[in-house]
Structure 1
Amino acid sequence: MQNRITNLFQINYPIIQAGMIWASGWRLASAVANAGGLGIIGAGSMYPEVLREHIQKCKHATDKPFGVNIPMLYPDIDKLMKIIVDEGVRIVFTSAGNPKTYTAFLKENGITVVHVVSSVKFALKAQEAGVDAVVAEGFEAGGHNGREETTTFTLIPMVKEQIKIPLIAAGGIATGSGMLAAMVLGADAVQVGSRFVASEEASSHSKFKELVVAAKEGDTKLTLKELAPVRMLKNKFFRDVESLYQKGPSVNELKALLGRARAKRGMFEGDLDEGELEIGQISGLIHDIKPAAQIIEDMMIEFFAAKERIAEF
């Protein structure tokens, strides 16, 4: 299956695994790459030398293309960028910041650059900055989200109408049918996060994976908008946040409750009560934990089956 995204990344299927913190290490990235998608190492939860280790292990585990996701808010971003260049990474996804900051530097080093956006405004800014493609991520997505609260199937056609570069849809996509729907609306590919959290190769804690599988409609909510909007499962920590909101808290009071390493505590260490459990709304449609290769195969089978059903109309 070939289109602008598969040609850009030299992959078989237009499926990109999201670079999720505490889930997207070298095992998941290499498994997705070997299955024909684009695997992504999530650098947001890694110290520089840990990222180097994951890149090197990924290179040994696959000879297929893979990339690295870097949140622009990372404190040691200069060190991460140097490691990426030194290790010969060919694809970088940037997020949570201004794409102008590093796009030129990355492209000068022969790296394909993709930026994650949550609005038409930022998609246009990313295109102007010279990125090769954008990921337009809707309100349904897990983890840190845009403030616009635009849903994926509203955002994709609006972004498509305004940009010329390839477009990747993200947020609420975990099935082949969802993939087809996004592409009908103008996406060239999809970025999948939550479904790959519930994979055997994800580095997230097994207790967290099991909670994702058990999630139902309405079990996630976007909160902490005053800090950085984040969608998470409703657990004790989430209820503590909601209780604090009843008192009209200051930003400092919210920061104090959040503390440090809250996401690591929940998603990586398995503290389901006090941890921040980031996951998307689509978790209500995820019912099992599978190998990453099986997830991709199932998505492609469903994609073509859905395409045949549409043809009957």
Structure 2
Amino acid sequence: MRTKFTEAFGVEHPIVQGGMMWVGRAELVAAVADSGALGFLTALTQPTPEDLVAEIARTRELTDKPFGVNLTILPSINPPPYAEYRQAIIDSGIGIVETAGSNPVDHLPHLKDAGIKVIHKCTSVRHAVKAEQVGVDAVSIDGFECAGHPGEDDVAGLILIPAAARKLTIPLIASGGIADARGLVAALALGADGVNMGTRFMCTVESPVAHAVKEQIVANTERDTELIFRSLRNTARVATNAVSTEVVDIESRGCEFADIQHLVAGARGRTVFERGDLDAGIWTAGQSQGLIDDIPTVRELVTRMVTEAESIITGRLASTVDSRIGAVS
């Protein structure tokens, strides 16, 4: 399945494992790379830029296939040393970077001068167009179904993907609500050149999250997420649990961030992933939970998706078209 994305980024399959806080570590990323898809280490999962350099080296010990690093840039009272993480990426010889959060324009000259291809994750067509204008090499467009931050426009992928495809000339990756071959085929039909999956890759054997989290994803349906921070105009989609339900309840009565800060601390979410205590904090998961019913290896997942996608395209869809042509004749 060759697309503009696979040709431009040198990977076998049009499938991406995007950056996920506490999840994008060496074992998962190397397994994704070996499967022929494109995986991303998450820079800020590592406590320091030096730790990131070590994690990149550890990934290279596990695979000789291409992989990238995600650098999420968000405004903060005490921001991480983004420039130092960026330099660690450059010095490590990484060839692909996924940026997310804020406009990457300040980072692009440094990354591009180092010969790095940049994929920028957006949640709206206007931001995708701006990203192409400032010089990124591809855009990942995040629909409302996604885990994490879907933006404030509430536009689902069925509209967002083709709307972005009409405006862009660079490769487009569809993200949000995709977990199987049907999603891959649909995204390609809507104009995307590949798909990005987070929740689905989180629920694989090589994913570093606790097995209890994976089992909960399998048990959950598409309805088992909550939208938090809506009242603060910083919407995030997370799994339904005692903490996220409490946050939604507090927000419904009006609150400031300080009123819920103790509930949504990142360290608490990390505890969920590392210890499997599902109510220790909030943890991200998308509506694609409703499409996930097993915990395969990464290779099994990617092979199954590609094989089934080809079968859908050459089998069911082709036979449907042929039958309609026959009926018209």
Aligned residue number for residue 87 of structure 1: 92
Q: Give the letter aligned to residue 170 of structure 2.
A: I
**Shift, 1:248, TM fit:** 1.2
Select the residue among 258, 263, 266 that pairs with 2:264. 258
**Shift, 1:227, TM fit:** 6.2
Select the residue among 175, 182, 191 that pairs with 2:180. 175
**Shift, 1:145, TM fit:** 2.3
**Shift, 1:275, TM fit:** 1.5
**Shift, 1:32, TM fit:** 0.8
Aligned residue number for residue 49 of structure 1: 50
Answering whether residue 162 of structure 2 is matched by residue 157 of structure 1, we say yes
SS where residue 203 of structure 1 aligns? coil
**Shift, 1:123, TM fit:** 0.3
* Alpha-carbon distance in structure 2 between the residues aligned to 1:255 and 1:62: 39
The answer to whether the 8 Å contact 1:144/1:230 transfers is yes
Aligned residue number for residue 112 of structure 1: 117
Q: Give the letter aligned to residue 24 of structure 1.
A: G
* Alpha-carbon distance in structure 1 between the residues aligned to 2:185 and 2:195: 9
SS where residue 93 of structure 1 aligns? strand
* Alpha-carbon distance in structure 2 between the residues aligned to 1:260 and 1:133: 29
Aligned residue number for residue 312 of structure 1: 319
SS where residue 114 of structure 1 aligns? strand
Greater C-alpha radius of gyration: 2
The answer to whether the 8 Å contact 2:125/2:163 transfers is yes
Report which stretch shifted further, 17-26 or 168-177: 17-26
Aligned residue number for residue 39 of structure 1: 39
Alpha-carbon distance change, 179 to 120 in structure 1, aligned in 2, over 3 angstroms: same
Aligned residue number for residue 26 of structure 1: 26
* Alpha-carbon distance in structure 1 between the residues aligned to 2:152 and 2:192: 22
Report which stretch shifted further, 202-211 or 251-260: 251-260
Aligned residue number for residue 5 of structure 1: 5
Q: If the length of structure 1 is used for normalisation, what is the TM-score?
A: 0.96
Q: Give the letter aligned to residue 181 of structure 2.
A: G
**Shift, 1:23, TM fit:** 1.4
The answer to whether the 8 Å contact 2:264/2:281 transfers is no
Report which stretch shifted further, 218-227 or 91-100: 218-227
**Shift, 1:207, TM fit:** 1.3
* Alpha-carbon distance in structure 1 between the residues aligned to 2:288 and 2:126: 26
User: Once the two structures are superposed, what CA deviation does each residue of 1:213-245 show, in whole Å capped at 9, x if it has no partner?
Assistant: 111131112211316321111111012112212
**Shift, 1:260, TM fit:** 4.5
Alpha-carbon distance change, 154 to 67 in structure 1, aligned in 2, over 3 angstroms: same
Report which stretch shifted further, 61-70 or 42-51: 42-51
Report which stretch shifted further, 49-58 or 130-139: 49-58
The answer to whether the 8 Å contact 1:33/1:65 transfers is yes
User: Once the two structures are superposed, what CA deviation does each residue of 1:104-129 show, in whole Å capped at 9, x if it has no partner?
Assistant: 21011100011000001100110011
* Alpha-carbon distance in structure 1 between the residues aligned to 2:268 and 2:4: 38
Aligned residue number for residue 233 of structure 1: 239
Q: Give the letter aligned to residue 188 of structure 1.
A: D
Q: How many residues align?
A: 313
The answer to whether the 8 Å contact 2:265/2:281 transfers is no
* Alpha-carbon distance in structure 2 between the residues aligned to 1:79 and 1:268: 27
Q: Give the letter aligned to residue 7 of structure 1.
A: E
Select the residue among 260, 285, 293 that pairs with 1:287. 293
The answer to whether the 8 Å contact 1:227/1:251 transfers is no
Answering whether residue 53 of structure 2 is matched by residue 16 of structure 1, we say no
Aligned residue number for residue 122 of structure 1: 127
User: Once the two structures are superposed, what CA deviation does each residue of 1:274-313 show, in whole Å capped at 9, x if it has no partner?
Assistant: 3212111011111111110111011011101111211112
Aligned residue number for residue 137 of structure 1: 142
Report which stretch shifted further, 284-293 or 241-250: 241-250
SS where residue 261 of structure 1 aligns? helix
Answering whether residue 274 of structure 2 is matched by residue 273 of structure 1, we say no
The answer to whether the 8 Å contact 1:38/1:66 transfers is yes
SS where residue 2 of structure 2 aligns? coil
The answer to whether the 8 Å contact 1:227/1:255 transfers is no
- Structure 1 stretches of 5 or more lacking a match? none
* Alpha-carbon distance in structure 2 between the residues aligned to 1:246 and 1:161: 38
The answer to whether the 8 Å contact 1:267/1:278 transfers is no
* Alpha-carbon distance in structure 1 between the residues aligned to 2:261 and 2:153: 22
* Alpha-carbon distance in structure 1 between the residues aligned to 2:184 and 2:93: 31
SS where residue 105 of structure 2 aligns? helix
Q: If the length of structure 2 is used for normalisation, what is the TM-score?
A: 0.92
Alpha-carbon distance change, 221 to 246 in structure 1, aligned in 2, over 3 angstroms: closer
Alpha-carbon distance change, 267 to 76 in structure 1, aligned in 2, over 3 angstroms: same
